[in-house]
Structure 1
């Protein structure tokens, strides 16, 4: 059977068609690779980079355990094109195939500019689509709910808290969807490099393109004209025209060479300290939009730098800021004057003035803060920021005037996500990691104390809150295949309803994201 490319490429197309000729195989060296080439390469590429199915590389499958992969090969997966092959494959064959796709290829992998361009498709050009929505709702109070359980997204009416539609996505969305400034279009980025532009008015895919082999996230410029992708593999950032996702430029995440052009810096800041020769290039941890600066900010994982990128006359101009250490994650103050980065040592945060490029403060933040989930609010006449920690049960609250830790609030375990809203008195933080992951804390933003601890579904992880545009209601995920999104009253903390979903993870409100609301991640 030949599969045509579809938008709903799931991870479990991985071994589609394998069973047809796999009645037996020997254990000679190379036998498993031969099986892969014979039965998998047509969907996933002879180099395992993916074709109609996703890439089969360890980094791309990091969200899928070996046990889960073996189970799906045996038993299939509901609502996908992956059937069970328990009768066709022996246990040994299944184990060896799983070992193979979780093993790094011996040859270096490349994803060229030509490959990017060849992957581009535009099934529904914007100028062919109706400029008015096909349904009635407050278009700025819509939510997108990413359902990891079966790789779908639900579009939710934030007033009625009812689903409008549910549609399939690429495998393993990563980094959160990003909206166009007017909220009409949303851009999704998948772990294996696919970017999808989707029209929320007409409920159709506009365009798709593959930026890399392993991608971290994407960002949309403040004017809505450009999309920038951050790759782990290859070591690049890739710039696209937001209109149809056509390729504009590939930006190597590399140290400057002797002949580097003048366009790689602006203002009076020049790159002065070359990194060691061993650090020729870097994975890109993430890229963010800095609206007041009309720029993007990128975090590099392997070179101690942060980059600011502006698009001038259709070309990227890169400004490099040397940092005191490698920074894994970023947070920004509301006017994007300062960048706060988490040091990889898991003990500190570094505050960088984005105008001067200089580090102006070091914060004691043991336990690896998840700064990408940080929030801010006004407290006793000054602005504070707060962040959970990956490795310790704490929330750090920091005075953003003097960059001192105002308070460390003890929680029931390490947390992942923290959310609030300008109109809410509460901040919510989960305890995603550890034995208490079924709990969530509600913090009073004026007393800086835990007001209440909820346990919405005993034994199932509770995570990731997102408020509606008014701060009156909020959504909380029960992070399970047999899960739900719970709607709460933001003031009384009472549960209003549950909407069944398949392992819902992130929820993203159009107003909060397009207006850069202080209580949500940017």
Structure 2
């Protein structure tokens, strides 16, 4: 049988020329991004190759990205899609000078507590910030009336949940291609932005509202920013005891400990950076690039303290008091680490690929439990946080990503969005019996995911993660749909009050 003729692959040197001619103006000559996002494997890893092809062919609505279907041949389009997903010929970096040059302050807010919202709203703490990935926008929704207040464009591919100052007024976003932005929810204005790297994991905001810490995978470092205006304060190279660099897996704010906690992706270590000015000195134990000396007391304030681990842990969850951290590796091994004694206290018998970062805690029958989804197993695992044993494995229709609840509801809601056949199913678990009592398919055949509750827990907001998509408001007692708002692939929505009070039913 004779094979159909296949066009010859376009050489990389020709693709590099095409890129310079067609793409470099918006995406940068080194693919580091400019007006458009960075086009590097680290920045595109969560975008399916078919979607990269589609964007090059058809463009992206509501942006300056035009389609090239009528300008380039199909082999050229396919070649460019392949080329931008390959590592560049020479290593890329992001210098301190480049970071400082990217910094912009658009307004200088009045930071006093006298400032009130410039719009009519019953409760500014019951606002929702909705991240719409379909066209890279953010919507602000009134959680009492479920009406939109404003909608503004974001940087490309916001990653990780937005973080808020303790008073709920300012919200901070991190994009996959390194941009950190500060937005004022009272004046509805962008305050400042800065590009801290080429690829950023997420940010954390200190519980005193003074600091923002960004964790990067490219370059492999941490960047400390002044929360008022995002001016860079300090950069921490992320290296282990042998001097090997590591990507940052995530950064967290451990409010009861007045410190940031940093998880590393390539090193068996857990870092803690205290922002308490009265933090006691400690012995560093080994040399780091930021002048920590072997065996010499190191100032506790804003200096990393390292807890050696027995293995690399990629995903984390904290107990409500931030005394313990539950960590899991990508192969399903999990441990409990004490942040007080700085050592392992228990092994966790978890299966598959647990998604601890989306876990919740709740009290039932006099016990404190933690529950987590699993990215490749159709179960919700419930852990007794006193014995560190599995209390129950709850079956659901397919592997889930997000698990959510609220103090004022007896139910936990979990999606099965990792399943191609059950992605439209929300399972509702009774926290008292640890049984699934109801299943919802709000939009059959579409991805129903990421539940978030209103401040009082009365309503649950569910994302229909499609483009076009919806935000569906459901009565959390009757499970009946109340309202739906059109959205462009709403990948997450975040209630201000639940975030700043660290509700046990949502991610932190």
Identify whether the pair has TM-score above 0.5, normalized to the shorter chain: yes
1:332 to 307, 318, 336: 318
Distance 1:333 1:203 in 2: 34
Distance 1:128 1:297 in 2: 27
1:425 to 410, 413, 426: 410
- Residue 96 in structure 1 maps to residue 79 in structure 2: yes
Report if aligned partners of 2:10, 2:76 keep a CA contact under 8 Å in 1: no
Deviation by residue 1:13-55 (Cα, 9 ceiling, x = unmatched): xxxxxxxxxxxx9945512112222332232222111122211
**CA 1:26–1:456 in 2, change beyond 3 Å: closer, same or farther?**
closer
Distance 1:502 1:151 in 2: 8
- Residue 321 in structure 1 maps to residue 324 in structure 2: no
- Residue 512 in structure 1 maps to residue 470 in structure 2: no
Higher mean C-alpha displacement, 315-324 vs 416-425: 315-324
Deviation by residue 1:387-407 (Cα, 9 ceiling, x = unmatched): 110110111111111111111
Deviation by residue 1:96-136 (Cα, 9 ceiling, x = unmatched): 11111111112111111111111100011224999221111
Deviation by residue 1:228-283 (Cα, 9 ceiling, x = unmatched): 0011111101100000100000001102xxxxxxxxxxxxxxxxxx4xx4x70100
1:493 to 479, 488, 495: 479
| Cross-structure match for 1:483 | 469
Distance 2:471 2:22 in 1: 39
| Cross-structure match for 1:389 | 374
RMSD of Structure 2 on Structure 1 (CA): 1.7
Q: How many residue pairs are counted as aligned between the two chains?
A: 476
Deviation by residue 1:175-232 (Cα, 9 ceiling, x = unmatched): 1100111111100000011000001111111000011111100000000100000111
| Cross-structure match for 1:14 | none
1:474 to 444, 450, 460: 460
Higher mean C-alpha displacement, 422-431 vs 58-67: 58-67
Report if aligned partners of 2:9, 2:75 keep a CA contact under 8 Å in 1: no
Distance 2:309 2:436 in 1: 35
Report if aligned partners of 1:63, 1:172 keep a CA contact under 8 Å in 2: no
| Cross-structure match for 2:116 | 132
Report if aligned partners of 1:377, 1:518 keep a CA contact under 8 Å in 2: yes
Report if aligned partners of 1:427, 1:442 keep a CA contact under 8 Å in 2: yes
| Cross-structure match for 1:285 | 249
- Residue 83 in structure 1 maps to residue 47 in structure 2: no
SS in 1 for 2:52: helix
SS in 1 for 2:158: coil
User: Equivalent residues in 2 for 1:390-469 (5 A)?
Assistant: 390-434=375-419, 435-469=421-455
**CA 1:28–1:328 in 2, change beyond 3 Å: closer, same or farther?**
closer
Distance 2:143 2:128 in 1: 6
Distance 1:351 1:488 in 2: 36
Shift of 1:483: 1.3
- Residue 354 in structure 1 maps to residue 318 in structure 2: no
1:122 to 99, 105, 121: 105
Long gaps (5+) in structure 2:
1-7, 278-299
User: Equivalent residues in 2 for 1:355-374 (5 A)?
Assistant: 355-374=340-359
**CA 1:29–1:349 in 2, change beyond 3 Å: closer, same or farther?**
closer
User: Equivalent residues in 2 for 1:14-53 (5 A)?
Assistant: 27=10, 29-53=12-36
SS in 2 for 1:307: strand
Report if aligned partners of 2:133, 2:489 keep a CA contact under 8 Å in 1: yes
Distance 2:12 2:45 in 1: 26
- Residue 233 in structure 1 maps to residue 218 in structure 2: yes
- Residue 158 in structure 1 maps to residue 122 in structure 2: no
Distance 1:366 1:382 in 2: 22
TM-score by length of 2: 0.91
Report if aligned partners of 2:463, 2:472 keep a CA contact under 8 Å in 1: yes
- Residue 106 in structure 1 maps to residue 106 in structure 2: no
Distance 2:192 2:369 in 1: 40
Report if aligned partners of 1:249, 1:315 keep a CA contact under 8 Å in 2: no
SS in 1 for 2:104: coil
Shift of 1:312: 5.7
Shift of 1:367: 1.4
Distance 1:407 1:128 in 2: 47
| Cross-structure match for 1:270 | none
Shift of 1:86: 2.0
Deviation by residue 1:481-516 (Cα, 9 ceiling, x = unmatched): 021111111111111111111111111000000000
| Cross-structure match for 1:18 | none
Long gaps (5+) in structure 1:
1-24, 256-273
SS in 1 for 2:377: coil
